[in-house]
Amino acid sequence: MHRLVLAPILGFFTILTITACQSKPPTCGDESTQTELRKAIIEEIEKKASQLPFGEHLATNQNFQIFLAGIKITLSEITSDGYNAEAKKYSCQTKINISGSGIPDLPSEKISFSNQSTEDSGPPGWVLQLNDNTPLVSKLAQIALNVSSAQNSSNGQSNLPFVERLYLAQQAAKNTDSSQSVTTPFGTLSISDEKKLLFNGVPTDPVLEGNSNLSFLDKKSLNGQSVILVQNTGGTACPATFTFVQLSAAGAKLSKEFGTCSDLYQLEQVGGKLTLTLPGFTGPYEPESAQQQAAKKKVIYTLEGGVLSEDGKPM
């Protein structure tokens, strides 16, 4: 009698054990985990890029898809923070390094992720999730947009609205790392903790002080001088104004602050002339139709022979 009862119990216990083992997700370093992690990172880059201004066009952008396909993700130092048997979840960490065509040298970055079993009866029966907002992924999203827009521009794809082309050209020209100083043959411009512009450690005359922040956008060599384009970041009512800083052996000379309040710009140099093109701007509390109409307007600022002009008129 005992034998008849014991056999089914043991058989039932064995089935439960096998089922429990099968429902456990793969470990952090498993090959299937690494494959899914690379896929998740690419999907996150694609998602974040599409959320950037004008990024909604990227889904059908061939250059963008080629860029994504060319990304190489190297994983190292994969570790586990433990397994939660109740949640059927591994908590994991790894260092990632990303390389590929159009991608600058970027430092490796540690990310965390998890593997967790699901109730789905079909394969794979588990899901991988990135646990945090990874700065490296956000940076790659912007680089992806930059590379795609630059290639579109070189291919003559200029059928986008003016303000959108301006944004994409601006982003494509940006460095991936912002700096609080810029060095020239005549000295160094920097930004103090009080958001003041400094030349060789001393506030400029006149003083240029940031509203929210000051940033260096571009540096050009013009008629034996170094010319730095500085942006003064404001708020929603007026996002930005600009200043040309001309550096020479005589010191630093600042132009008037200028702009339309838009923070979108395109800077070009032809010979001894700099041209900064901005869209028009109206505040966020104006009707949307008025904002769109203003953005269609082009305002052109030039710096030539030390003279700043707006639409051909000296300022």
Summarised one tens digit per residue, pLDDT across range 273-290 is 999 988 888 887 788 788
The mean pLDDT value for 28-57 works out to: 85
Q: Would you say the pTM of this structure is higher than 0.75? A: no
Contact 281, 262 (CB under 8 A): yes
Contact 197, 179 (CB under 8 A): no
On the question of pLDDT at 206 being above 80, the answer is yes
- Give the Cα separation of 116 and 245 in Å (integer): 55
Burial class, 271, CB count within 10 angstroms (exposed 0-12 / middle 13-18 / buried 19+): exposed
Contact 64, 144 (CB under 8 A): yes
Nearest to 96 by CA among 65, 60, 58, 140: 140
Residue 11: per-residue pLDDT: 42
Residue 75 confidence class, pLDDT cut points 50, 70, 90: very high
> Which residues are within 8 A (CB) of 235 and not within 5 positions of it... i.e. 6 or more apart?
211, 212
Residue 166: per-residue pLDDT: 61
Residue 38 one-letter amino acid: R
Residue 157: per-residue pLDDT: 45
The mean pLDDT value for 160-188 works out to: 66
Summarised one tens digit per residue, pLDDT across range 192-203 is 999 999 999 999
- Give the Cα separation of 244 and 227 in Å (integer): 6
Higher pLDDT, 296 or 171: 296
Residue 226: per-residue pLDDT: 95
Lowest mean pLDDT among 31-45, 100-114, 250-264: 100-114
Residue 266: per-residue pLDDT: 80
